[in-house]
């Protein structure tokens, strides 16, 4: 994602752009690896020496609150972040630990139809766990 696209994404989610926020948004958009806050901090601190871990954590918390990113707790230990906000599921490989995006928009919509009448959904997370194709073949 270019700086202009990151700027537009922040503004679209009512987030005031700053150097740090732009850098975090660009990183999330360019790295579909579902990074942790520490991974993002370590990747950006060389470019922005004044960056603090607190700033990264607060920025990510703001992005999640405003809908510009999602937080995943798929492994039960670490929170990781996803800049892709379109409906999709996630797959965690129990061997290599990587998290993969899984197209599942229709499956997520089908699940919503199963809710009892009168229920109001605010968030849906669909996680798969197992072995990725690379680990399964080793």
Q: Which of 89, 30, 26 minimizes the C-alpha distance to 59?
A: 26
Beta bridge partners of 91: 100, 128
Number of domains in the chain: 2
Residue-level pLDDT at 120 = 83
**Residue 133 clears pLDDT 80, i.e. is over it:** yes
Over pLDDT 70: what percentage of the chain?
Answer: 99
Q: Are residues 50 and 30 in the same domain?
A: yes
pLDDT tens per residue, range 82-131: 998 888 999 999 999 999 999 887 777 777 778 888 888 877 788 999 99
Q: Are residues 65 and 109 in the same domain?
A: no
Q: Which of 105, 108, 113, 110 minimizes the C-alpha distance to 124?
A: 108
Q: Are residues 60 and 21 in the same domain?
A: yes
| Residue 42 or residue 1, greater confidence | 42
Residue-level pLDDT at 123 = 77
Asked if 87 contacts 34 with a C-beta cutoff of 8 angstroms, the reply is no
**Residue 135 clears pLDDT 80, i.e. is over it:** yes
Q: 82, 97, 113 — which closes off a domain?
A: 82
Q: Are residues 96 and 121 in the same domain?
A: yes
pTM value? 0.85
pLDDT tens per residue, range 20-67: 999 999 999 999 899 999 999 999 999 999 999 999 999 999 999 999
Q: Are residues 26 and 75 in the same domain?
A: yes
Q: For residue 133, how many other CB atoms are within 10 A of its CB? A: 8
Domain span holding position 35: 3-82
Strands 89-93 and 127-130: parallel
23: domain CATH number is 1.10.10.10
């Amino acid at each position: 994602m270019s700086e202009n696209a990151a700027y537009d994404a922040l503004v679209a989610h009512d987030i005031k752009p700053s150097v740090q926020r732009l850098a975090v948004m660009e990183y999330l958009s360019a790295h579909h690896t579902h990074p942790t806050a520490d991974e993002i901090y370590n990747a950006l601190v060389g470019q922005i020496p004044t960056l603090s871990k607190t700033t990264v954590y607060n920025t990510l918390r703001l992005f999640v609150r405003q809908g510009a990113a999602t937080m995943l707790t798929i492994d039960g230990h670490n929170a990781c972040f996803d800049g892709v906000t379109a409906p999709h599921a996630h797959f965690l490989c129990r061997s290599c630990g990587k998290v993969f995006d899984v197209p599942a928009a229709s499956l997520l919509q089908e699940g919503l139809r199963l809710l009892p009448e009168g229920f109001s959904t605010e968030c849906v997370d669909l996680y798969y766990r197992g072995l990725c194709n690379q680990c399964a073949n080793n």
